[in-house]
């Protein structure tokens, strides 16, 4: 039986959502040679597999939230003749003519609706909720999200499957590679001493004000590097000085992000809520010591390999940062523990477990 993959890549999709689509499309045909795949996408995927074919969409056909998604896409997917559809992001048709699996990475938009456009709640009410309830299975990244799927969308727990994500292979560095990339990033950004790193967007639920408060009151000299948003109206200012310099990098390319993880004294994730915590996993894979808020998904992913603090407690975060700065042995232990923890996850395993869900669903139909 053939599986149709809704593998659209659109500007509304986050970096993590796009990574999920790309990694599964490239790995599923290889790890599941017994299945056939129709990859329906506006992206020009290279598919050197006998069991995978590309069904190209125009960008306007792939757009999220409009007529094309709700009607034309559903027709294109049904026309593949597949026995099953996998909607690989939250953007999906409300109704499907074929049985479908539905990946929902998180429900941040429903947990914090005040931080998003007024269009979001109606989309979740009239599209996401019925698509999720009608799905043969709903796939999510962390056990922590299953309660949200039940409570906020009414998905039966028996229909939810947890399939974790992973860091890609280029995040795994040897000690020598880590050292050379650390030197490179220090030269690139003019970093002279210790620095903490936050990598991610700046939405309010990311809780950056707690990170800033903790850093500003540190009694030890160190810089703070924050990636992504660098708008003119941003409340933070590049070069702001407290125990060191605040550096707002703006967007960084993947290779630069790996360099920053390699060079940082520790990577910090202070989020109030995460669907998984891919940035944490990537930091651990590189070998960065990590500090995370006691958020359910971050604790689930980090295990015992990260220092933790209550998400609203800037004082507790400051103490964890002081520990990291003062204790080289602790930094080394966290580096090794993080790398070991990251090895528990792989994209090949994500693909294998996803393919097993296809077989489970197809077997029910037969």
Compute the average pLDDT of residues 140-145: 96
pLDDT of residue 239: 62
Mean pLDDT across the chain: 94
Q: Are residues 154 and 245 in the same domain?
A: no
pLDDT of residue 104: 98
Q: Are residues 131 and 212 in the same domain?
A: no
Backbone angles phi, psi at 163, to 5 degrees: -130, 105
Q: Are residues 111 and 181 in the same domain?
A: no
Q: Are residues 328 and 351 in the same domain?
A: no
Beta-carbon contacts of residue 208 (< 8 Å; ≥ 6 apart): 198, 202, 226, 236, 270
CATH number at residue 238: 3.40.50.2000
Express as a percent the part of the chain with pLDDT over 70.
96
Q: With cut-offs at 50, 70 and 90, classify the pLDDT of residue 233.
A: low
Residue 234 scores a pLDDT above 80: no
User: Is 366 among the domain residues?
Assistant: no
The residue to which tokens 């709640």 are assigned: 121
Q: With cut-offs at 50, 70 and 90, classify the pLDDT of residue 118.
A: confident
pLDDT of residue 354: 98
pLDDT tens by residue, 272-315: 999 999 999 999 999 999 999 999 999 999 999 999 999 999 99
pLDDT tens by residue, 323-352: 999 999 999 999 999 999 999 999 999 999
Q: Are residues 45 and 28 in the same domain?
A: yes
DSSP string, 206-231: G-HHHHHHHHHT-SS--EEEEES---
Q: With cut-offs at 50, 70 and 90, classify the pLDDT of residue 56.
A: very high
pLDDT of residue 230: 63
Residue 153 scores a pLDDT above 60: yes
Q: With cut-offs at 50, 70 and 90, classify the pLDDT of residue 228.
A: confident
Strand partners, 355: none
Compute the average pLDDT of residues 159-183: 96
Instruction: Round to whole Å and give the CA distance between 93 and 135.
Output: 12
Q: Are residues 324 and 354 in the same domain?
A: no
Q: With cut-offs at 50, 70 and 90, classify the pLDDT of residue 7.
A: very high
Q: Are residues 202 and 325 in the same domain?
A: yes
Q: With cut-offs at 50, 70 and 90, classify the pLDDT of residue 86.
A: very high
Instruction: Round to whole Å and give the CA distance between 312 and 272.
Output: 8
Domain of residue 161, residue span: 2-166+346-361
Q: Are residues 356 and 298 in the same domain?
A: no
Instruction: Round to whole Å and give the CA distance between 359 and 349.
Output: 15
Q: With cut-offs at 50, 70 and 90, classify the pLDDT of residue 131.
A: very high
Distances (CA, A) of 339 to 225, 280, 344: 22, 11, 9
For residue 212, the SS3 value is helix
Residue 161 scores a pLDDT above 90: yes
Strand partners, 137: 101
Compute the average pLDDT of residues 7-13: 94
Mark 41-53 as b/e (b = at least 16 C-beta within 10 Å).
bbbebeeeeeebe
User: Is 322 among the domain residues?
Assistant: yes
pLDDT tens by residue, 12-55: 999 999 999 999 999 999 999 999 999 999 999 999 999 999 99
Q: With cut-offs at 50, 70 and 90, classify the pLDDT of residue 221.
A: very high
The residue to which tokens 């924050």 are assigned: 226
Q: Are residues 271 and 232 in the same domain?
A: yes
Q: With cut-offs at 50, 70 and 90, classify the pLDDT of residue 94.
A: very high
CA nearest to 90, candidates 55, 53, 64, 59 = 64
pLDDT of residue 277: 93
Instruction: Round to whole Å and give the CA distance between 165 and 256.
Output: 21
User: Is 7 among the domain residues?
Assistant: yes
User: Is 101 among the domain residues?
Assistant: yes
Q: Are residues 146 and 198 in the same domain?
A: no
Instruction: Round to whole Å and give the CA distance between 62 and 112.
Output: 27
Looking at the 3D structure of the chain, how many domains does it have?
A: 2
Compute the average pLDDT of residues 180-196: 94
Residue 232 scores a pLDDT above 80: no
Q: Are residues 190 and 155 in the same domain?
A: no
Q: Are residues 69 and 143 in the same domain?
A: yes
């Amino acid at each position: 039986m053939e599986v149709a993959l809704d593998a659209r890549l659109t500007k509304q999709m986050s970096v993590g959502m796009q990574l999920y689509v790309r990694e599964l499309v490239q790995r599923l045909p290889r790890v599941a040679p017994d299945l056939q795949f129709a990859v329906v996408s506006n992206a020009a995927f290279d598919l050197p597999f006998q069991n995978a074919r590309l069904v190209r969409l125009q960008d306007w056909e792939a757009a999220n939230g409009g007529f094309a998604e709700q009607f034309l896409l559903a027709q294109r997917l049904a026309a593949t003749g597949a026995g099953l559809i996998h909607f690989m992001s939250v953007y999906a048709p409300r109704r499907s003519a074929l049985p479908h699996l539905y990946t929902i990475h998180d429900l941040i938009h429903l947990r914090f609706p005040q931080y998003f456009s007024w269009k979001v709640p109606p989309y979740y009410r009239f599209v996401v909720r019925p698509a999720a309830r009608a799905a043969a299975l709903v796939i999510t990244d962390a056990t922590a999200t299953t309660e949200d799927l039940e409570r906020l969308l009414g998905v039966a727990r028996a229909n939810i499957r947890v399939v974790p994500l992973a860091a890609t292979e280029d995040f795994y560095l040897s000690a020598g590679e880590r050292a050379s990339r650390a030197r490179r990033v220090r030269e690139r950004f003019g970093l002279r001493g210790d620095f903490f790193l936050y990598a991610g967007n700046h939405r309010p639920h990311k809780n950056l004000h707690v990170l800033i408060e903790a850093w500003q009151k540190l009694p030890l000299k160190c810089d703070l590097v924050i990636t992504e948003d660098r708008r003119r109206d941003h409340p933070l200012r590049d070069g702001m000085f407290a125990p060191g310099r605040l550096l707002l990098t703006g967007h960084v390319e993947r290779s630069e992000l790996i360099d920053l993880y390699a060079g940082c004294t520790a990577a910090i994730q202070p989020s109030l809520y995460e669907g998984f915590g891919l940035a944490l996993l990537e930091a651990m894979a590189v070998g960065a010591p990590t500090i995370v808020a006691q958020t359910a998904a971050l604790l689930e992913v980090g295990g015992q390999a990260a220092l933790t603090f209550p998400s609203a407690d800037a004082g507790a975060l400051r103490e964890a940062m002081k520990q990291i700065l003062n204790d080289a042995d602790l930094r080394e232990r966290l580096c090794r523990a993080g790398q070991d923890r990251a090895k528990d996850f792989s994209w090949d395993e994500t693909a294998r477990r996803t393919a097993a869900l296809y077989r489970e669903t197809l077997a029910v139909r037969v």
